[in-house]
Structure 1
């Protein structure tokens, strides 16, 4: 095993950056709500600049999410923002809207771009199409099984990123569904201050499932009732040469992220050094991770080994 996959983590705040680097993160995904979807933390321009400085001092990369659903009124904000990202040395901007790519070519031509539409990155033809347009990485949809992920990697002409840990988005609407419902009921729920409110859930008593839900500037988000966990299934993905493994920290504490990152770093390094030893310790890695997992969040393998988890 020669290729070392990137371990990409989403910090919750600037204070979380160095501790994550210290336990083995080799790349960080950050951004601000105005431009990016479902971020673990809010990073304004000053925070982005500070994060880049800390990360680059430690040979760690920084990517910024610019993958919101943009309407006409937001487009004038993009040239200055993308220029800023290029100026401070961000290692890539993550986009889903082709408009971001077009504006970046004019305003930040030297800014690397990663393609991530959240849901439609499901085949290697489309990934390679965006590669020809200028993207250097494709972030695959979470709804793919293992065989599809490996097939895409075998045929892709650009780097491939997948999520290996954390919750998944089940549904998003640009509408403020919670606020509209509360208003209809004669109750008050202001979106401001409710972003990623940890106390809001949709409860399905029949399945005994609780779905985290929140509203922010990008609308309403409903998340999966369990967290994806692939710490004991990394071998096939590493053999396939997947370029980046992402740990998503949305709705997670800094302490949790540090412990999970530490475990994935250990698992990846062990497989690189002694594949057989990793195989022997798979169950132990999963057991150790489960100990830090919140009681209300079960673990599963997402769509990797079955067609649906919701």
Structure 2
């Protein structure tokens, strides 16, 4: 069975990183009606560029229109959908039944996928949406492997499952903490992540006296979920008949997108050969990108205290993103700089085939072939390099 690797794209740079490192499809949002308002996202003009690039590579792209709409949203949604028709996305990702009906009533001939925000946790809900015309269902993250298997055995609709990335403490992301604390609606893409904050108790007869909550000597992070990682279960999910394996992270860096996509690409390809076995290299590489440590969550019945990160609400970072290779020929490795590099630094190059090269920086040249002692972000430079390195490879510092 052909299985799809679906990666996030918060902007054009991240989209290209996903495709270069092996994604079959990406999902993105316009400036409105998606659930990641803090991501760069795409203007209509940028979407035209994005889908032209994707379709030229034989890849697919899906546009999120998955807010929970208010009455006034429909005033602008119609014109936005008309613009999307010209972009020709391969599907729209929707969660609100009202938005679904609005799209259908306008006779917009774009396939619809039902978002994980719709909280689909059973096979009858899948059949309900399929009967209405949905072509794919993104299952809720709260499902176990047995529940996913049962659904897959009892429906004919395409199923999509999140396999990697951040998880919301609330049911499939339908949280109102952000609304309460900051008047920012997480169901409209404005989440301020109060689940990552530290909390104290206040006893109502002692206003202003804040009592620290200690689960252990570090305090408490009662809402602070670890990140999902199902790399060990890729083969199992494919065998169940899951059509699409999805990576979370439209707000993560292009290095994050590249590395995680590349790892899951190798895992899927290995599984499709009937030889699935977890490579320790995959685990090591996943630990080099930002994460809150990993859990298998509900999938493997780990959705308990073991799925909460009690140490810190900050990301663990195993590497610094320093550049992208733009070309490599005649012993000259050209790159676009993303972070400061100094003479003497020991760096790693990670190629789209997930080959790793470690080297020490002896000399750095700018585009005028002048030696420099260090680089500055967003400028172009080159190293002298004996090995032929593929374009779009990642340059980084392992921490």
The answer to whether the superposition gives a TM-score over 0.5 is: yes
Q: In the alignment, does 2:187 pair up with 1:178?
A: no
Any gaps of 5 or more consecutive residues in structure 1?
181-188, 212-221
Give the Cα–Cα distance (whole angstroms) in 2 for the partners of residues 102 and 199 of structure 1.
32
Within 5 A, what are the aligned runs for 1:11-160? 11-32=9-30, 34-38=32-36, 41-118=40-117, 120-160=119-159
The Cα RMSD (Å) is 2.7
Deviations 1:123-162 (A, max 9, x none): 1111111101010001100000011011111112210000
Q: In the alignment, does 2:313 pair up with 1:288?
A: no
Q: In the alignment, does 2:200 pair up with 1:202?
A: no
Alignment partner, residue 242 of structure 2: 242
**Between Structure 1 and Structure 2, which shows a larger proportion of helix residues?**
1
Determine if contact 1:231/1:267 at 8 Å carries over to the other structure: yes
* Count, aligned residues: 281
Deviations 1:78-111 (A, max 9, x none): 2222222222111111111111121112324311
Determine if contact 2:295/2:302 at 8 Å carries over to the other structure: no
- The TM-score, its normalising length taken from structure 2, stands at 0.64
Give the Cα–Cα distance (whole angstroms) in 1 for the partners of residues 155 and 198 of structure 2.
40
Determine if contact 1:55/1:61 at 8 Å carries over to the other structure: yes
Q: Quick one: structure 1 residues 33 and 156, their matched pair in 2 at CA, closer, same or farther if it must change by over 3 Å?
A: farther
Give the Cα–Cα distance (whole angstroms) in 2 for the partners of residues 231 and 174 of structure 1.
30
SS in 2 for 1:169: coil
Give the Cα–Cα distance (whole angstroms) in 2 for the partners of residues 257 and 210 of structure 1.
27
- The TM-score, its normalising length taken from structure 1, stands at 0.82
Any gaps of 5 or more consecutive residues in structure 2?
200-213, 309-399
Higher normalized contact order (CA 8 Å, seq sep 6+, divided by chain length): 1
Give the Cα–Cα distance (whole angstroms) in 2 for the partners of residues 99 and 179 of structure 1.
26
Determine if contact 2:138/2:160 at 8 Å carries over to the other structure: yes
SS in 2 for 1:135: coil
Determine if contact 1:37/1:67 at 8 Å carries over to the other structure: yes
Higher Rg of the two aligned structures: 2
Deviations 1:213-254 (A, max 9, x none): xxxxxxxxx8x5311111122111011111000011144211
Q: Quick one: structure 1 residues 206 and 47, their matched pair in 2 at CA, closer, same or farther if it must change by over 3 Å?
A: farther
Give the Cα–Cα distance (whole angstroms) in 2 for the partners of residues 237 and 58 of structure 1.
26
**Deviation (angstroms), 1:33:** 5.4
**Deviation (angstroms), 1:195:** 5.7
Determine if contact 2:169/2:225 at 8 Å carries over to the other structure: no
Bigger Cα displacement from structure 2, 34-43 vs 261-270: 34-43
Determine if contact 1:83/1:107 at 8 Å carries over to the other structure: no
